[in-house]
Structure 1
Amino acid sequence: MADTRRLPGPNADMWDWQLEGSCRGMDSASFFHPDGERGPARARREARAKAVCLSCPVLEMCRSHALAVHEPYGIWGGLSESEREHLIKSDKRTLSMSGG
């Protein structure tokens, strides 16, 4: 579950970017894996989802949001769950090494 303490407030200007997403109106199953999906099937679904993200006008805002709230599921901003987890852990490791 996303860390809801990290979510921005209820202001529309904090969320309006989602209205401009290329994924808007698409079946969410394209971006979130069904239970038990593994291997080539998961890789193909993720590749199709990431292809939608590539031309998305709000890719950076989507990615920033997902990283800021530690979004645990789905493709967000062109990144998979494991890719986001890796970036978040890398940032924490960098901060701890720098004393931050």
Structure 2
Amino acid sequence: MQEFMQLISLHDALDDTEELSWQERALCAQTDPEAFFPEKGGSTREAKRVCVGCEVRSECLEYALENDERFGIWGGLSERERRKLKKRAV
């Protein structure tokens, strides 16, 4: 039984790794992270410019929406823009 539980834990860990592998391909991983978490009232322009050309933009946005990320630019959207998107989806 213990071996079975260990296999389940390993499988879950692999699933988590596969789910987050998009982060390794994200353009933001190769740039200044501070651009994606600007101070209140700061510009989001630089971060959004990076997001436009990112191949995993949709995965990033989906992750942020599913995990209720409240700070930063995710999938090219600010927290306020993600809130509006969620309201429209309801």
TM-score, reference length from structure 1: 0.70
Structure 2: which 5+ runs fail to align?
Answer: 1-11
> Which SS does the other structure have where 1:61 is aligned?
helix
Q: Which runs of 4+ in 1 moved over 6 A?
A: none
Aligned match of 1:71: 69
Residue 90 (structure 1) shift: 2.0
Aligned match of 1:18: 23
More helix by share: 2
Structure 1: which 5+ runs fail to align?
Answer: 1-8, 93-100
Report 1 or 2 for greater relative contact order, CA contacts < 8 Å, sequence distance ≥ 6. Answer: 1
Percent identity over paired residues: 36
C-alpha separation in 2, matches of 1:33 and 1:51: 14
Structure number with greater Rg is 2
1:1-16 equivalence runs, <5 A: 10=13, 11-16=16-21
Q: What is the RMSD computed on CA atoms of the aligned residues? A: 1.4
Q: 1:29 aligns with which of 28, 34, 51?
A: 34
C-alpha separation in 1, matches of 2:74 and 2:65: 9
Stretch deviating more after TM superposition (57-66 or 22-31): 22-31
Residue 61 (structure 1) shift: 0.5
Q: 2:44 aligns with which of 40, 46, 52?
A: 46
Aligned match of 2:79: 81
